[in-house]
Structure 1
Amino acid sequence: MKKALLTFTLSLILFTIAGHYGFSQSNLSPTIAEFVEGMEIKPGFFPLYWDDNTGKIWLEIPKTEEEILYYPSLASGLGSNDIGLDRGKLSGAHVVNFRKSGKKLLMAESNYDYRAITDNAMEQKAVEESFAESVLWGFEIAAQSTTHYLVDATEFALQDAVGASSAISRRNQGNYKIDPKRSAIYLPRTKSFPENTEIEATITLSGSGAGGYLRSVTPSSDAVTVRMHHSFVKLPDDQYTPRHFDPRAGVNAVSFYDFATPINEPIVKRYIRRHRLIKKNPGPDPSEVVEPIVYYIDPGTPEPIRSALMEGTQWWTEAFEAAGFINAFQVKLLPEDADPMDIRYNLVQWVHRSTRGWSYGGGITDPRTGEIIKGKVTLGSLRVRQDFLIAQGLIANYLETGEVEDEAMLDMALARMRQLAAHEVGHTLGLPHNYIASAHDRASVMDYPHPLVQMDGDGNLDLSDAYDVGIGEWDKVAIEMAYREFPEGNNELQEIDKLVKTYREKGLDFLSDQDARPAGSAHPSTHLWDNGSNAVDELNRVMEIRKHVLAEFSEKKIKMGQPMATIEEVFVPMYLFHRYQVDAASKLIAGVNYQYAVRGDGSSPPTTVNAKSQINALDALLATVAPKNLEVPAKVLELVPPRPYGYSANSRETFQGNTGLTFDPLAPPQVAAEMTFSFIFHPHRASRLVAQHAVNTALPGLMEIIDKTIQTVNGFSASSEYEEEISRTVQKALLGQLIDLYRSGQASAQARALAYQGIQKLNDSITSNGSTAQTAHQSYVHRIVANLDREQVEPAQKLPSSPVPDGSPIGSESYQWLQPICNFTTY
């Protein structure tokens, strides 16, 4: 009797629970409709249900294992260029599917790096099972209907999806992790549309040990609160036709292994990245398009910058028209009710940071085909202020009356913003950098341009042509190779080969990041932030402009009422006005001309820069470290007082000297000298000098370059004690660079051996002239060299170096161009 009563009671309890939660009596499994009763419904691609009572978001997923695209992003950022967690930052895109296993639904990412493009299902399966996939999440199934599952997506949404804590840790800014109690779904940006579903969450990272970068951008550094976004997107249909990659075409690519490839053909396949663009009238003739590419400008951008961004972005219309597409590219202002994270909007977004930094052109690409699904540009707002600052240093003449004439400076800054918008949008259209374009009459917005400053015979500076206007000739070529429709039946790679030969006949070419960014790179015409077809001639011209600007530099460079100490921020980019052209000219030393080549295309073979040009480059570079060119004008020294209260004395934008609060007159010469020598004696360049002389003794070798440098540096004349001290500073800078070369693991053994010999020669050449200063200098250098081979050198016996004030983006070098996950490149 008791046993029967217990059974009846248990059955009654289960019946009551099942009725309360909507479970069927037969299997205790609720339907989705029963489970979500009373919740707020957000219908769409993957329907969402919001339970306000529990703060949970529920996701309805189709039972089919059809693949979709998932990617996380950062809806609101940290505001620090150094940490890199910007508003709108996109993380990697994942092709995923959902697979049921019991009461669990696994979200698994397919491995499209390894495929078998074949109709043989078993061959495809062999590849799939040979390489790992990634299960990104496991959901518990709470309810189901005939065609769908319902899962709790709250915990999934509240994860650190963009790796913010790791980014903070990598920059030594503290140890942080998610605090669930201070994290929640952000409902205003949690939406579902016909082809995409968006979930956003407020994420709080708590921790300790906050570094200076983090403290500077958070109200309370123990709690870092941002918003993270999750996008589930319907993948494009199979009507897109991938285009095979040609390394000469100037277009980005996705690559993968195709194990169905015949063994006599390359196993790695590459498709270019581009938007889908379909003509109403297919074929090579001009035609309107079925659906244009539309880019939206962030309405949070202030005027007149907003108009400049729209104008610069619109330049690409001309390139698409040249490729045969009419009304194919459009620019609009993002509607007020649009979500910038929505996959449907190609976006140019305005982002604020605490310091100036890079802008980015990136987006989301279908990894299966290379089709660009969303283009996304991030523009840092402080960049335009740096451009204005450069113009200010060049031509500002603020009068005592308080009269302000900023028009020409504003014009230059806005011209730069137009060019920058076009550049970053170019990345989102599929184009990489083309750093040889500046040597071809500014042929591409995909280069990094230095402001082209003209000076007449009277010393008047003209900024009206500082930046080019409109799309370049190369940009039209690149868009044509990526998007042009070729006659039906023609081989695309053969058609691209014809276009390559045509652009080379016109004097154009394409060389990108790996050929320009490394300080020791070899091509004599491929640089960042340079101008002109001849890097040495341009360096000499830039040095003349710099000389004029420094001679005319006065308190009129800042407005009335500004602290006088802030004039240093204007002075720094003027003093270092030649920094990027020094980099460019150094590439003629052991330089090599070359092209991206494929067999049979008639490309020019690599040729070494002739000896005369190499020595001319060295002469121009050594002229930059002459004391007369390095001394800070006396009237500038009189202008710069110690920093006032409330203004940091350790700005990254100023010279860091050794004199405490006062401006150190020897810090700028040391920085400039170390900069020049670091380019001349870069380990890769030094090793090439050894190699080129071994192959052809008519070309200069490393020892010849070292000898000439020592002779030139020792032969500098000095007209004052200040210049004499600069000469000693230059000698120490040269010694420090030769020691760095000797110790470098990147240099060849013979380059290091010759560097050691150069150290001894420099050491022997420094003699005393009887002055106390020179005798101390000689003794100090001798002691450094004598202790060079000791295993542990005391700090006092090391040559101290001085940090270079921040430069790039023009004004810290960044190498984020090295295979970013979803950003195509940076600027």
Structure 2
Amino acid sequence: MKRYLTILFIAMFCFASLAQKKDQKPEQSTINTENTIGAKVKGMKSFEGFFNFYYDEKQDKIFLIIDKFNTELLYVNSLPAGLGSNDIGLDRGQLGNERIVRFDRRGSKVLLIEPNYKYRAITDNQDERKAVEEAFAQSVLWGFKVEAEENGKVLVDASDFFLQDVHDVINTLKSAQQGTYSLDKSRSAFYMERTKSFPQNTEFEVILTFTGKPEGAYIRSVTPTPSSVTVRQHHSFVQLPDANYKPRKFDPRAGYFNMMYFDYATPISEPIEKRFITRHRLEKKDPSAKVSEPVEPIVYYLDRGTPEPIRSALLDGARWWNQAYEAAGYKDAFRVEMMPEGADPMDVRYNVIQWVHRSTRGWSYGASVTDPRTGEIIKGHVTLGSLRVRQDYLIAEGLLAPYEMGKPVSKEMEQMALARLRQLAAHEVGHTLGLAHSYASSTENLASVMDYPHPMATLNNGKISLSNAYDDKIGPWDKVAITYGYQDFADGVNEEEELNKIIQNSLKEGLTFLSDQDARPQGGSHPYAHLWDNGKDAAEELNRVLEIRTVALKNFGQNNIKPGTPMALLEEVLVPLYFAHRYQAEASVKLIGGLNYRYALRGDGQPVTEFVSPEVQSKALQSLLKAIAPSTLALPESILKNIPPRPIGYIRGREVIKTRTDLAFDPLGAVESAADLTLSLLMYPARATRLVEHNARDGKQPSLSSVLDIVFNATIKASPKDGYEGAVQITINDVVLNNLFKLSLAKEASLQARAIANLKISQLKQWLSDKTKGTTSETWRAHYSYALLRIDTFQNNPAEYKFENLLPPPPGQPIGNDFLSCSDN
């Protein structure tokens, strides 16, 4: 009986257990173990390479096979098809971020993780490395759902990952105040023409459409339907280079960009920051030989869409760099060729020079894909704006007045524009070799193509010539920099000592490296590092440029435009000529309150700091006053009577002078813009503060008070002129007063600089009050009275004073087309 009950109990228990299991729902799982990868991708198009993947044409989806877990690789995004607006900044061929990433399997998910390479511990101690890794955040870029798996491989649907706005178009449009947009996936798709897989890299490209309400003129000017903006974005997964690359020490004197990280395993006696230059990998076949072929040359490829004669000019200019590599002991180490037909410029295997079109002229760039671990450049990518050659041609038209009736048009303009393109190609390629701007080189006999060159016009028997407008070769500094970065030292050679010798020898030859922060005109103080200047003496060169400008304006007229061109379009040619002195004026103004210095290291023998001499500053101030003199800024009547309002079909665009005269050309508006270019820099807060400080330290240095008095004597207090020149003089005086008010309120200036500016305002008030009483000219009495009213209004409530909105000049930078990485001229 007991046995029977036992058997019955067991049977009932088993039945209950089975019933319970039958009623239970199975555990939720995204993995179907019976669903193999082969079954899942059946009928899809396969791609084999670094990563294998499948394309489901019916659903427009990418299924990615991940078989490289916990293996680091490089992930790069880019913009192969852009907007065509320099102002927005989303150009064709624009590189995005490069990131070290790895795939990490976590249950039913695969995470794409970006480790934090900014903070490291370079040590064999695993616990020490782990301590640093856990101290700083990593980033998970995406989470993928596992669709199938077999033999250690997993299949994921990567479609949403690739169809995201990884290039941040939405925020770029918003920041540029062009509207609020969102990604419309119903109008987005894979671009399979450029979705491929190779042995060491896998490339994906997508068409993305952003919809929204356009709010700016820039987006309207380049998009057929501005509420629907379609671009292409590109994703690259790239095998990282091997560990045989040796990083090279960064030296601020050597002319390179640097990569930096913090090494927490560093002894406490050494700096924790580690800095290395960015450069391509280049090795000699025989490092002990004075001249050797490379193991692998550096090869750049030019965009096949570049037309002639531009194509030949760009090939020539980019190839200049082989001269520098030869000086470093290499034979045929640098080549430039045409892009292979059918090759993708976004493919990281190609260093590219792209010819990019925009709706307006704009910057050219030299960017790179760089290994964040070491600074090794994997891909150089140059973007050259196609409209800059036309701007250079326009500059030449203004200087040469070449269209005489019945005479053939000179080739000098085209030759000058192509010469600039050669220099530009060399310049931007230089950035992709790792080189930074070298802005002192124009004062050292054109020592580097990494400077910004202004076209060198000369006077021969009273006639302007552009035959030597630009240099035609690599400079001596470029050879020094390439030797520092790329020299391959034989075993047993002390590399650090040899690198220092390279720099020390260049210093003995009088070569100097100074870069971006030293050249900017607003707060810059260096007497030799400038943008778009020429010559060692900035003030002397300004006087020379003004002389050439005077000759060109005297000759200016119908011969500056082609027969059959609307006369109103003379203004386009006039603009770069009228403002031709602007950059040399920027160079000269930096001498005022100037400080000469170098990137000196202890013991290298370079000067550390020294004031610019009072004599040089006085000379510079006189040249600047000449640049804002009425005789300089007043346009001749022969020009004014030949520029009518624009005919139907021709709007006043951004490249012409802003006006207060509606449709008519405004010569006084031109004066206002030109005067403010110089005076706003002369009274810049940092410059005023330095004048106060330098004079306090050395009484021989000019004071802020003395500089302002000299300016007032040459402008507001100068003998009043009649007629048109008097109107020009009054316009300049108004600009002086406006900038004086701004200086007195500038929070960036020192209190003493502001105090001096306020004292000068009170002194001018008394002078104007006396002058008004003794002036018989109604025009000048009105000017003096209104200046007094402006001062009274300002002094009664400075905080609420509404400054005059002075007319801005037409765009200057880029003069013929680079804020940092490698944005350029």
Structure 1 residues 789 and 761: alpha-carbon distance in aligned structure 2, compared to 1, 3 A threshold:
closer
- Tell me how far 1:794 sits from its aligned partner: 7.4
Is structure 2 residue 594 aligned with structure 1 residue 588? no
Q: Is the 8 A contact 1:246 1:493 kept in 2?
A: no
2:61 is aligned with 1:56: yes
Number of residue pairs matched by the alignment: 805
CA contact (8 A) 2:69 2:105 kept: no
Letter in 1 for 2:399: L
Over residues 628-657 of structure 1, what are the superposed CA-to-partner deviations in whole Å (9 max), with x where a residue is unaligned? 1110110110011111112222x2211112
Is the 1:340–1:347 Cα contact (8 Å) retained in structure 2? yes
Give yes or no for contact 1:249–1:496 (8 Å, CA) kept in 2.
no
1:671 match: 673
In structure 2, the residue matched to 1:722 is 724
The yes-or-no answer on 1:135 pairing with 2:110 is no
| Match of residue 738 from structure 1 | 740
Paired residue secondary structure (1:93): strand
Once superposed, what is the RMSD of the aligned Cα atoms?
2.2
Q: Which moved more, 1:220-229 or 1:729-738?
A: 729-738
In the TM superposition, what is the alpha-carbon distance from 1:224 to its structure 2 partner? 0.2
In structure 1, C-alpha distance between the alignment counterparts of 2:279 and 2:732, rounded to whole Å: 50
Match of 2:170 in 1: 165
Distance 1:466 1:296 in 2: 27
> Aligned residue for 2:684?
682
Instruction: Describe the SS at the equivalent of 1:257.
Output: strand
Q: 1:242 to 1:249 in 2, by over 3 A?
A: same
Q: How is 1:377-396 mapped onto 2 (pairs within 5 angstroms)?
A: 377-396=382-401
2:554 aligned partner: 551
Question: CA 1:185 to 1:10, structure 2 compared with 1: closer, same or farther past 3 Å?
Answer: farther
Task: Give the residue type in structure 2 aligned to 1:50.
Answer: Y
Q: Do the aligned residues in 2 keep the contact of 1:627 with 1:716 (CA within 8 Å)?
A: no
1:10 and 1:323 map into 2 onto residues whose CA distance is 79
What do the CA deviations read for 1:122-151 (whole angstroms, capped 9, x no partner)?
Answer: 111000000001111111111122232211
CA positional deviation for 1:522: 0.8
1:250 aligns with 2:252: no
| Aligned mates of 1:676, 1:382 — CA distance in 2 | 27
Letter in 2 for 1:633: P
Please point out which of 411, 414, 424 is paired with 2:415.
Answer: 411
2:67 and 2:569 mapped to 1: Cα distance?
Answer: 61
Residue 65, structure 1, aligned to residue 67, structure 2: no
Structure 1 residue 215: Cα displacement: 0.2
**Correspondent of 2:524 among 518, 521, 524:** 521
1:290 aligns with 2:292: no
- Aligned AA (2:400): I
Contact 1:104 1:141 in 2 (8 A): yes
Please list the CA deviations of residues 13-68 of structure 1 after superposition, one character each: whole Å capped at 9, or x if unmatched. Answer: 99xxx9xx9x9xxx634222221111100100011200011110111111421100
Which residue does the alignment assign to 1:572? 575
Asked if 1:366 is matched to 2:368, the reply is no
Cα distance in 2 for residues equivalent to 1:28 and 1:126: 38
Residue equivalent to 1:638: 641
What SS does the corresponding residue of 1:438 show, helix, strand or coil? helix
Gap regions ≥5 residues in structure 1: none
**Structure 1 counterpart of 2:452, from 436, 444, 448:** 448
Amino acid of the structure 2 residue aligned with 1:449 = P
User: Would the aligned equivalents of 1:732 and 1:799 in 2 still touch at CA under 8 Å?
Assistant: no
What do the CA deviations read for 1:380-413 (whole angstroms, capped 9, x no partner)? 0011100000001011321345x55141100000
User: For residue 4 of structure 2, what is the aligned residue in structure 1?
Assistant: none
Structure 1 length-normalised TM: 0.94
Partner SS, residue 129 of structure 1: helix
1:656 aligns to 2:658 (yes or no): yes
Equivalent AA in structure 2 for residue 786 of structure 1: D
1:784–1:108 distance in 2 versus 1, CA, 3 Å: same
Output the CA distance in 2 between the equivalents of 1:363 and 1:213: 27
Amino acid at match of 2:814: P
CA contact (8 A) 1:735 1:762 kept: no
Question: What secondary structure does 1:94 align onto?
Answer: strand
Q: What secondary structure does 1:765 align onto?
A: helix
Give the 5 Å matches for 1:112-131.
112-131=117-136
Q: How does 1:221-236 map to 2 (within 5 A)?
A: 221-236=226-241
How many Å apart are 1:679 and its aligned residue?
Answer: 1.7
Alignment equivalent of 1:488, drawn from 491, 495, 506: 491
Note if 1:773 corresponds to 2:776.
Answer: no
Q: Which runs of 5+ in 2 are unaligned?
A: 1-14
The structural deviation recorded for 1:70 is 0.2
Mapped partners of 1:619, 1:63: distance in 2: 68
SS in 2 for 1:787: helix
| Structure-2 residue corresponding to 1:32 | 37
Matching of residue 260 in structure 1 with residue 272 in structure 2: no
Cα displacement string for residues 644-697 of structure 1 (whole angstroms, at most 9, x for unaligned residues)? 112222x22111121111011201111111111112111111110000000011
Question: Which amino acid letter does the alignment assign opposite residue 347 of structure 1?
Answer: V
Is structure 2 residue 210 aligned with structure 1 residue 210? Answer: no
The SS at the match of 1:95 is: strand
Equivalence for 1:271: 276
Q: Deviations over 1:484-524 (max 9, x none)?
A: 12343333332222111111111111000010024220110
1:334 and 2:354 are equivalent in the alignment: no
Q: Indicate conservation of the 8 Å contact 1:432/1:825, yes or no.
A: no
- Say if 1:664 and 1:144 are closer, same or farther in 2 by CA, change over 3 A: same
Residues 694-709 of structure 1: pairs in structure 2 closer than 5 A:
694-709=696-711
CA distance in 2, matches of 1:696, 1:284: 54
Q: Which residue of 2 aligns with 1:195?
A: 200
- What secondary structure sits across from 2:715 in the alignment? helix
Which residue is 2:477 aligned to? 474
1:591 to 1:434, Cα distance in 2 relative to 1, 3 A: same
- The correspondence of residues 292-371 of structure 1 with structure 2, limited to 5 A, is 292-371=297-376
Contact 1:278 1:289 survives alignment (8 Å): yes
SS of the residue 1:639 aligns to: coil
The 2-side partners of 1:685 and 1:794 are apart by 25
Counterpart of 1:613 in structure 2 is 616
Q: CA deviation at 1:791?
A: 4.7
Indicate conservation of the 8 Å contact 1:626/1:716, yes or no.
Answer: no
- Cα deviation, residue 744, structure 1: 1.3
Amino acid at match of 2:450: M
8 A Cα contact 2:720 2:780, kept in partner: no
**How many angstroms does 1:743 deviate by?**
1.5
Within 2, Cα distance between the matches of 1:505 and 1:436?
A: 16
Residues 742 and 751 in structure 1, CA contact (< 8 A), matched pair in contact too? yes
The Cα shift of 1:764 comes to: 3.0
Residues 545, 699 of structure 1: alpha-carbon distance in 2 compared, 3 angstrom cutoff: same
Percent identical? 50
**How far apart are residue 370 of structure 1 and its match?**
0.5
